[in-house]
Amino acid sequence: MKRRWKGNALALVPVLVLAAAVLGCTPEDRREAEAGAEEAGRDLEAAGRAAGEELSEAGRAAGEEISEAGEAVERGLERANRQLEPYARDIEITAKVKTKLAADPEINPFRIDVDTLEGRVTLSGKVRTERQREEAEALARGTEGVLEVVNLLEVGPRGG
């Protein structure tokens, strides 16, 4: 089984300097080597602290940028929701009017188109009688959210 060195190779510098100092050196050389090894160790520790501080600062800065990006996305979604809200209301109104037309046994809802824009409902298509035309308009007017009804329904024998 192979063993792998997991630490930093620079951590070996003080040990190697000390080992070289011990082997075949005078006591004065050994003291200088030991002092050099201690200084190298302190320098290494200082470099490690500095690198840690830089990484910490980089992490903080990255966190701030991510937070700012998240806030920008949130603002964009809120703006999109405000812009789409009127369309959602119009779709809901159209669905309610069509449901009422489909529930009325006298009206053929498949021959009537319902379009809604900003609460204004436009009915178009064909019905068989004037009574059906009036009933379709009354159903649309009685629907929650409808501000106005434009009745363009045509009366004729080929109507619903």
The residue among 97 and 3 whose pLDDT is bigger is: 97
Per residue in 10-66, pLDDT (tens digit) is: 566 666 655 655 566 677 777 877 888 888 888 888 888 888 888 888 888 888 888
Q: What is the pTM of this model?
A: 0.55
The string of DSSP letters for 83-98 reads HHHHHHHHHHHHHHHH
Q: Is 76 exposed, middle or buried (0-12, 13-18, 19+ CB in 10 A)?
A: exposed
Distance between CA atoms of 37 and 49, rounded to whole angstroms?
Answer: 18
Distance between CA atoms of 122 and 140, rounded to whole angstroms?
Answer: 9
Per residue in 58-105, pLDDT (tens digit) is: 888 888 888 888 889 888 888 888 888 889 999 999 999 999 999 999
Distance between CA atoms of 15 and 40, rounded to whole angstroms?
Answer: 10
What residues does each domain of the chain span?
A: 9-155
